[in-house]
Amino acid sequence: MPETLVRADALGRAYGGGGARVIAVQGATFTVLTGDTVALAGPSGSGKSTLLHLIAGLDAPTSGSISWPAIGDRGSLRPGPVAMAFQGPSLLPPLTVAENVALPAILGGQDESEATAAALDLLQMFEVDALADKLPEELSGGQSQRAGLARAFSGSPRLVLADEPTGQQDSATGGRLLDAILTVAALAGAALMVATHDASVADRLAAHWTMRDGILRTAEQACSA
Amino acid sequence: MLGLTWLAGLLRRRTGRMIGQAAGVALAVLLLAALGTFFTASRASMTSQAVRAVPVDWQVQISPGTPEADASTVVAAAAGVTASLPVGYADTSGLTSRNAGTVQTTGPGVVLGVPPDYATTFPGEIRPLVGAADGVLLAQQTAANLGASVGSTIAIARPGQSKTTVTVAGVVDLPAADSLFQSIGVAPGTTPTAPPDNVVLLPQAMWNTLFAHAASGTASTQIHVQLSHDLPADPGAAFTDVIGRAKNLEADLAGGGLIGNNLAAQLDGARADAIYAQMLFLFLGLPGVIIAALLAGVIASSGRERRRREQALLRVRGASPKRIVRLATTEAILVAIVGTVVGLIAATAVGRIAFGTSSFGATTAQGLIWAAIAVVFGLALSVATIVLPAWRDVRTLSVREAQASVTTGMGRRPVWARVYLDVIFLGLGGLIYWQAVKSGYQVVLAPEGVPTISVSYFTLLAPLLFWIGTALLMWRIGTALLRRGRGWLRVATRPFAHRLAGVVAASMSRQRRGLSRGLVLMGLTASFAISVAIFNTTYASQSRVDAQLSNGADVTVTTAAAAGLPAGIADAVSKLPGVAAIQPMQHRFAYVGNDLQDLYGVNPATIGQATSMSNAFFAGGDAAQTLQTLAATPNGVLVSEETVHDFQLQPGDTVNLRLQFASDHAYHQVPFTYVGVAREFPTAPHDSFLVTNADYVAQTTGSSAAQVLLIRTDMSPPTVTAEVQRLLGPASGATVKDIVTEQQITLSGLTAIDLAGLTKLELVFALLLAAGASGLVLALGLAERRRTFAIASALGAKRRQLGGFVWSEAAFVAVGGLTLGALAGWWIAQVIVKILTGVFDPPPEHLSVPWAYLTGLLVAVGAAIAVAGVGMLRATRKPSMAILRDL
């Protein structure tokens, strides 16, 4: 029986006030269950990243509500149950790639040596194990993004949120990277939500959600419409 | 226009960075302006301070045969002379007074003939005590010797003439008796240096009548001169000026007179102090300014990565390198303006708080000059820390490199590290120091009476090389620890980082450049604070020793009368409340060959009960042993090193001294045995003196009279002093002094540097610098890595885990910096104290450590770090959305 990882009801997020008020997300209602793989498609600036931040508990809604029934309250989301792979370079500069990938697991209480061994396995799956001892400043944008994805799967998360994971890859490499993401997510039993503007990426995932001007349309909503 | 927009953006978006940079510049400007103005004011007041203490500038001894009127005319016409009055000096073989049927007779003395307006022209020379201020006046001690008071009739014995009688109108004190009765034109040490026991002051007309036919060689005239005190501010220049004027007058007198140059003698002592004042500025002030400048540099450089990225953005948008440098210059000018204005306002506030005057006692012109220097310095500092790096980045970095988010800065070892420049500097500094200490030199050599001063500037290189070498060595140690000691770091950071210790150690190891920079700055500020505090405490402690040496004991009663202190006074004083112990001591004079020296007759077994007998007082460094030897040799004598050298003495040698016998007041030979060397002794002068057994002196001279009473107190010395003064009464002729008052005189002296004020200034600045270096640098360093902390927080790092990173880094900088700084500060204080040994009197045997201040320093650093760390952790409690949106 799948569990409900995320439940949102009329979720909204606005920035600023008065005339400068910008509504990034409005009225989003959805659920994410264990085992879901969701593509969140939409053009740049449509609110995809903001929605991922809200789901990850990194940001708080200004309207509506969001809960994580199978996980707990906002404070228990990270490190562990919910992880996020960012679009831009997000590795910690003074740590090596392996140390970066092992960090969430260590933050979650795992022993350092075990976390490092697991990190090396993840790096291998994302084909960057040769870079384990490199520092972030020595990596290309694509390599950095792969390492960031490997880090998102560190510490056995139940839900991984990936923001434009193939954005800095050519199409062939991007395809292979998506294979790796899906494989690792399946092996880990993690639900997956991928924000992308690339239709070919979205097509590989089970559910298709779209966002436009901050308004979310889930697969069910699309069907019922 | 773009410049203004850019500035407005910086003020809105980079407020913290701008405030930090301006604060760094303000601190450096504050320090430079305050110390510079203070030292200039101190130096400028040296001459006026020295001159103020001289009651009569010149005493012109008219040569026999020269008409007084002619000499007076020449003197009055000499350049710079504002007043001149003739004073008659006549010998008397004794004074007699009758009191209630008894006759009191004194030994030889001097009768002065004083013009009517003398007291108003030279106000410091005669101080009325009892009765009239003019007419026939008796010196206080003479009145005591004769038992005379106002209205008494005394007889003056005139050599070659009949006795004459006069009626006493008042009793006076002669505060400057030493210079008043100096022997002019006589080689030092050939005549008694002590003023006469008996002095009578007569109105000039009466003196002229009484001594008009004085026997040849028994009466003479001096012209006392007051000079215009419009002298150069620097005592050295003033000394040369006054010497030149005196020589010029002597040439005009053409052998008709010799000048006793009291003013030059006073300036002679002050000119070495002027050089020492410069040294103090160099050693105790300038390092602080340099550290403040370094702090400003580090603060500015902590925003360098972000500035690089901003500049890269501008370049992408088409801004030319010239425009980027112009924008950086605009930022630097704003920082300089805000920093210097705040710094100068703070300097005036500090002056008002520390000295009660915002100008530190300087003139408006001096204040403006230093303000201008500080403004230029602030501007240069801003340009050096903001514009230069921007210019270098534009020239050397590609846009891609500049955009790289954060680099760990682990490059190759710097050139200086590869050639071991730190070790070379420390070695050279050590060599220069060793050479200097070995040869027992003085950095400032101002031989008495010689106009030129020799300053060994080469030796000053030693502390400079130590400072630079120490800073570089701290860097080497810091980077080596972080690079190679990861295992050690993991253990050391475990209390803060727990399971994350390995990650934290790895992170710190790769940020070694930034952390070492913080460590060096912390170490330098700590070493500056510690060395300044140790120097100042050692100085204060030595001034206590000096006060004890010059005062003799907690409270000292002295008389110059050969008859000694009033009978029974010792017993009476011993019964006073607050008196713990007393010791009488004889103070006589004795000829060693032709050299007249002070002689102290003591009871070696008990002298230590009333005053401290330091090991440093005696050659061989063992006071107990030396006094035991003296006690075991009844006719033993301790002499100065100079005497041992001059007379080639060996222990056990007989030394024949000539002492004044009570029976005929004449000097007779008495054999003594040389048993040891005394370098210092309570109340004794700094040069030659003798210490011997009081019993032997009493037995050979026929007088056991003690001229000094040393008192150890167990309550406030000034309180006991008041009690003793009350006991003695006003006419005893004895002087009572206490150590507290004496130390105040010493501390306000160095004759011109207000070391208490300087200490306050420097210690407060040192605290500010240390707190700034620890707190501000840590805060800015952490702030620059807000992005890193935001990512860690987004990954799920809890506040405690982020604290692991923050507190581990803070502990490394604080503990490492303070430890290395303490070692360096102690060593540099040692070097400075040795090099500036001339400032101390006597030189210290060991350094004095100001534990209370050092505890305060630790608390200030700890508080600054705690505030910075807690602030940073508060800021990272929730990851910044602005940062996360960029990810």
- The model's pLDDT over B595-645, given as tens digits with 9 standing for 90+, comes to 778 899 999 999 988 888 888 788 877 889 999 999 999 999 999 888 888
**In 3-state terms, what secondary structure has residue B862?**
helix
B491 touching A (Cβ < 8 Å): no
- Which chain A residue has its CA at the smallest distance from B504's CA? A95
pLDDT attached to residue B115:
94
In chain B, what residues touch A90 (CB-CB under 8 Å)?
A: 791, 794, 887
Residue B400 β-bridge partners: none
Taking the C-alpha atoms of residue B787 and residue B309, their distance in angstroms, rounded to an integer, is 13
B185: left (phi over 0), alpha (psi -120 to 50) or beta: left
Residue among B511, B792, B879 minimizing CB distance to A58: B879
Which among B791, B801, B802, B812 is the top mutation candidate for probing chain A, defined by the most A β-carbons within 10 Å of its own β-carbon? B791
pLDDT attached to residue B880:
61
Residue B678 β-bridge partners: B618
Q: How many residues does chain A have?
A: 225
Tokens of B735: 């002087």
A107 touching B (Cβ < 8 Å): yes
Q: How far is A172 from chain B (nearest CA, A)?
A: 24
B507 touching A (Cβ < 8 Å): yes
CA distances (Å), origin B756, targets A60, B749, B752: 59, 10, 11
H helix or E strand, kind and range, residue B876: none
Q: How far is B511 from chain A (nearest CA, A)?
A: 7
Q: Amino acid identity of B679?
A: R
Cβ partners under 8 Å of residue B364, min gap 6: none
B461: left (phi over 0), alpha (psi -120 to 50) or beta: alpha
Q: How far is B850 from chain A (nearest CA, A)?
A: 41
Q: Do B796 and A79 touch (CB under 8 A)?
A: yes
- Cis before B188 (ω within 30): no
Residue A38's φ and ψ, nearest 5 degrees, are -120, 130
B406 touching A (Cβ < 8 Å): yes
Residue among B507, B796, B885 minimizing CB distance to A94: B507
Q: Do B886 and A106 touch (CB under 8 A)?
A: no
Sheet containing strand B58-62, edge to edge, reads B127-131, B170-173, B137-139, B198-203, B109-114, B81-92, B219-227, B58-62, B257-261
pLDDT attached to residue B400:
60
Cβ partners under 8 Å of residue A180, min gap 6: A125, A126, A127, A149
Tokens of B792: 């860690």
Ranges in chain B, pLDDT < 50? 405-406, 747-752
Residue B353's φ and ψ, nearest 5 degrees, are -70, -45
pLDDT attached to residue B604:
93
Q: How far is A90 from chain B (nearest CA, A)?
A: 6
Taking the C-alpha atoms of residue B285 and residue B297, their distance in angstroms, rounded to an integer, is 19
In chain B, what residues touch A109 (CB-CB under 8 Å)?
A: 499
A194 touching B (Cβ < 8 Å): no
Whether the CB-CB separation of B38 and B757 falls below 8 Å is answered with: yes
Whether the CB-CB separation of B222 and B89 falls below 8 Å is answered with: yes
Q: Do A107 and B405 touch (CB under 8 A)?
A: no
In chain B, residues 509-528 whose CB comes closer than 8 Å to chain A: 510-511
CA distances (Å), origin B519, targets B21, B512, B770: 19, 10, 11
A141 touching B (Cβ < 8 Å): no
pLDDT attached to residue A223:
65
Residue among A80, A84, A95 minimizing CB distance to B503: A95
- Which chain B residue has its CA at the smallest distance from A87's CA? B887
DSSP letter, residue B844: P
A14 touching B (Cβ < 8 Å): no
A96 touching B (Cβ < 8 Å): yes
Which among A13, A22, A58, A77 is the top mutation candidate for probing chain B, defined by the most B β-carbons within 10 Å of its own β-carbon? A58
pLDDT attached to residue B638:
94
pLDDT attached to residue B588:
87
- Which chain B residue has its CA at the smallest distance from A108's CA? B796
Antiparallel, parallel or unpaired: β B636-639 and B667-677: parallel
Residue among A95, A106, A109 minimizing CB distance to B507: A95
Q: Do A96 and B506 touch (CB under 8 A)?
A: yes
Cβ partners under 8 Å of residue B250, min gap 6: B257, B258, B259
At residue B669's C-alpha, the angle toward residues B665 and B675, to 5°, is 125
Q: How far is A106 from chain B (nearest CA, A)?
A: 7
Q: How far is B859 from chain A (nearest CA, A)?
A: 31
The total of other beta-carbon atoms located within 10 Å of residue B37's CB is 27
ipTM of the complex in this document: 0.91
Residue B17's φ and ψ, nearest 5 degrees, are -65, -45
Q: Amino acid identity of B499?
A: R
Residue A161 β-bridge partners: A84, A193
pLDDT attached to residue A224:
63
- With CA atoms as reference, report the closest residue to B752 among B241, B226, B269: B269
Q: How far is B35 from chain A (nearest CA, A)?
A: 42
- Which chain A residue has its CA at the smallest distance from B804's CA? A107
Tokens of B580: 């713990």
- Which chain B residue has its CA at the smallest distance from A153's CA? B795
pLDDT attached to residue B404:
55
Residue among B506, B792, B884 minimizing CB distance to A58: B884
Taking the C-alpha atoms of residue B718 and residue B725, their distance in angstroms, rounded to an integer, is 10
- With CA atoms as reference, report the closest residue to B552 among B617, B605, B597, B625: B617
CA distances (Å), origin A156, targets A19, A189, B339, B823: 44, 9, 52, 50
Residue B731's φ and ψ, nearest 5 degrees, are -100, 15
Q: Do A79 and B507 touch (CB under 8 A)?
A: no
At residue B61's C-alpha, the angle toward residues B49 and B118, to 5°, is 60
In chain A, what residues touch B499 (CB-CB under 8 Å)?
A: 106, 109, 111-112
Taking the C-alpha atoms of residue B47 and residue B112, their distance in angstroms, rounded to an integer, is 30
Please state the three-class secondary structure of B190-255 as a single string. Answer: CCCCCCCCEEEEEEHHHHHHHCCCCCCCCEEEEEEEEECCCCCCCHHHHHHHHHHHHHHHHHHHCC
Which among B406, B516, B884, B886 is the top mutation candidate for probing chain A, defined by the most A β-carbons within 10 Å of its own β-carbon? B884
Taking the C-alpha atoms of residue B10 and residue A91, their distance in angstroms, rounded to an integer, is 27
Residue among A49, A90, A137 minimizing CB distance to B791: A90
- Which chain B residue has its CA at the smallest distance from A54's CA? B881
Q: How far is A94 from chain B (nearest CA, A)?
A: 5
Which among A97, A107, A156 is the top mutation candidate for probing chain B, defined by the most B β-carbons within 10 Å of its own β-carbon? A107
Q: How far is B499 from chain A (nearest CA, A)?
A: 7
pLDDT attached to residue B879:
59
- Cis before A79 (ω within 30): yes
In chain A, what residues touch B510 (CB-CB under 8 Å)?
A: 94-95, 135
In chain A, residues 59-88 whose CB comes closer than 8 Å to chain B: 59, 77-80, 83-84, 86-88
pLDDT attached to residue B751:
41
Taking the C-alpha atoms of residue B707 and residue B596, their distance in angstroms, rounded to an integer, is 18
- Which chain B residue has its CA at the smallest distance from A151's CA? B795
Whether the CB-CB separation of A196 and A202 falls below 8 Å is answered with: yes
The total of other beta-carbon atoms located within 10 Å of residue B453's CB is 15
- Which chain A residue has its CA at the smallest distance from B507's CA? A94
Q: Is the whole model's pTM more than 0.80, yes or no?
A: no
Average pLDDT, chain A: 88
